[in-house]
Amino acid sequence: MEKTIVAISTASGNGGIGIIRLSGKDTFKIIDRIFIPKNKKKEIKGYNIKYGNIVNPKNNETIDEVLVSYFVSPKSYTTEDMCEINSHGGMVVEKRILEICLENGAELAEPGEFTKRAFLNGRIDLSQAEGIIDLINSKSDMEAKESIGQLEGYLSKKIKEIKQKMLDIMVDIEVTIDYPEYDVEEVTNTKALKELTYIKEKLTSLEESFNKGKILKSGIKTVILGKPNAGKSSLLNAMLKEDRAIVSDIEGTTRDTIEEYINIEGVALKLIDTAGIRDTDNKIEKIGVEKSKKLAESADLIIAIIDNSRNIDDDDKKILDIIKDKNAIIVLNKVDINDKNEYNEKEVTNLCKPIIKISAKEEKGLDNLYKEILKLFEIHDISSNNEVLITNERHKKQINKAKENIERAINSLKDNMPVDILSIHIKEALNDLGEITGENVSENIINEIFSKFCLGK
């Protein structure tokens, strides 16, 4: 790592302070050229902050009054010599300091290059680096918590444990290969089969944890279905109005879909097609049952809303039919008008779905709805169990590949194939897992992962 890199690490725009970060072997040399500390002592200590001015050495012009933090290698984010310049916020000042760093020997960092160096220098592994991106992009408390776990190495530890088990089997196999005269093959095989079955179970449960992990990461994709005037937009507005750290988002995927996030008890609900709901002309006759079906298919959760001040009719029944085999909650709305509609209750109870009574207009009953959602997705288990969850598609793929190789190994044992074959499959599985933590991963994959970072991280 020859280059010394620099980037503005704070988000663009006006803020109280801005941070410009440098990393690499020339960091202190560059700082020495452009920074005049009030205290002239030359000594550089790690975890030290100096106060002074950034001065352009070309013309001695003072650019800003700053604090510079010093991190001496290897005790820094990247493990290299690093400095962070805390300047006054605002694009002009930050950019001028950046330019002066560039003029004095630093090179502009690529997105994620600081973290990439931390990885390449061995301070963190790849899954920890990915935890950092996820933490920055978190949309809910729960997702942030999971990312911190990954960053702290929970997943890496789990993967290492499984790899160790595989290595143990490999050692046994090597013994049988190297000392055939000891005739230990049968013992080895029985033991290996037991161990491999155990490993397969561990990998399967990690792979399955992705279902929960995905929800933490992308939010519960939720669709509100109901016939015209059932109260879809009233419910949506009531949900969005509550002060639950609303994140509104317009995603660039399809022009006419607005996705909004609401945060309930630390979990993100991603409401799909809220544009369709809000647009009052876009009633179900117009969007049609087909579109509702399609929306329902892509959802993790359907909230089917029924106007409880009227009796369920054929249009309601069409919606109830859509949710039959889906993860759904039936919401009886307008209970301020009629809270006991026996006809409706009879119609919905046999569907075996949770039923929640609300008044969207008076914003009553929403808490029960939220509780039911968390229950349905076993969210509270996630937070209390401290289990390791896979939240990353790439990790899931690698775990699946490893599982398949372990299955092959098990089959080769059962078919009495030579032990060399067994060892080939286990080695493959070891490689698959190694790609998660980044021991053996191609440069393309590394570049792709770090390109998702923001500049200055």
For 289-298, the CB contacts below 8 A with 24+ separation are 289/318, 289/322, 292/225, 292/319, 292/322, 293/322, 295/223, 295/225, 296/223, 296/225, 296/322, 296/323, 296/326, 298/221, 298/223, 298/272
Q: Which residues pair with 330 in a beta bridge?
A: 304, 355
Give the nearer residue to ligand GDP in terms of CB position, either 315 or 387.
Answer: 315
Q: What are phi and psi of 239, to 5 degrees?
A: -65, -40
Distances 347 to 310, 318, 344, 384 between C-alpha atoms, Å: 13, 13, 5, 37
DSSP strands (E only) in 281-391 = 301-307, 328-333, 355-357
Continuous segment of H or E residues that includes residue 449: helix 443-451
Cite the DSSP H helix spans in 65-153: 91-103, 113-120, 126-136, 141-151
Whether residue 116 contacts residue 129, with contact meaning beta carbons closer than 8 Å, is answered with yes
Give the nearer residue to ligand GDP in terms of CB position, either 83 or 284.
Answer: 284
Give the nearer residue to ligand GDP in terms of CB position, either 315 or 336.
Answer: 336
Q: Which two tokens stand for residue 67?
A: 């604090």
Whether residue 44 contacts residue 71, with contact meaning beta carbons closer than 8 Å, is answered with no
Give the nearer residue to ligand GDP in terms of CB position, either 110 or 363.
Answer: 363
Burial of 181 (0-12, 13-18, 19+ CB in 10 A): exposed
Shortest reach from residue 254's CB to ligand GDP, in Å: 21
Shortest reach from residue 107's CB to ligand GDP, in Å: 55
Shortest reach from residue 358's CB to ligand GDP, in Å: 7
For residue 416, give the 3-state DSSP assignment. Answer: coil
DSSP conformation class of 310? S
Shortest reach from residue 259's CB to ligand GDP, in Å: 18
Whether residue 306 contacts residue 348, with contact meaning beta carbons closer than 8 Å, is answered with yes
Whether residue 284 contacts residue 228, with contact meaning beta carbons closer than 8 Å, is answered with yes
Give the nearer residue to ligand GDP in terms of CB position, either 149 or 226.
Answer: 226
Give the nearer residue to ligand GDP in terms of CB position, either 161 or 339.
Answer: 339
Shortest reach from residue 353's CB to ligand GDP, in Å: 19
Prior bond to 180 cis, omega within 30?
no
- Residues 6 or more apart whose CB falls under 8 angstroms from that of 113 comprise 5, 7, 450
Q: Is the C-alpha dihedral spanning 268, 271, 272, 274 positive or negative? A: negative
Give the nearer residue to ligand GDP in terms of CB position, either 237 or 400.
Answer: 237
Shortest reach from residue 229's CB to ligand GDP, in Å: 4
DSSP strands (E only) in 340-457 = 355-357
Give the nearer residue to ligand GDP in terms of CB position, either 49 or 337.
Answer: 337
Give the nearer residue to ligand GDP in terms of CB position, either 68 or 235.
Answer: 235
Shortest reach from residue 257's CB to ligand GDP, in Å: 17
Shortest reach from residue 235's CB to ligand GDP, in Å: 7
DSSP conformation class of 139? -
Shortest reach from residue 236's CB to ligand GDP, in Å: 8
Shortest reach from residue 305's CB to ligand GDP, in Å: 7
Give the nearer residue to ligand GDP in terms of CB position, either 140 or 233.
Answer: 233
Shortest reach from residue 365's CB to ligand GDP, in Å: 9
Residues that bind ligand GDP (CB under 6 A): 226, 228-234, 277, 333-334, 336-337, 359-361
Give the nearer residue to ligand GDP in terms of CB position, either 357 or 425.
Answer: 357
**Which residue in the block uniquely carries the two structure tokens 């509550």?**
242
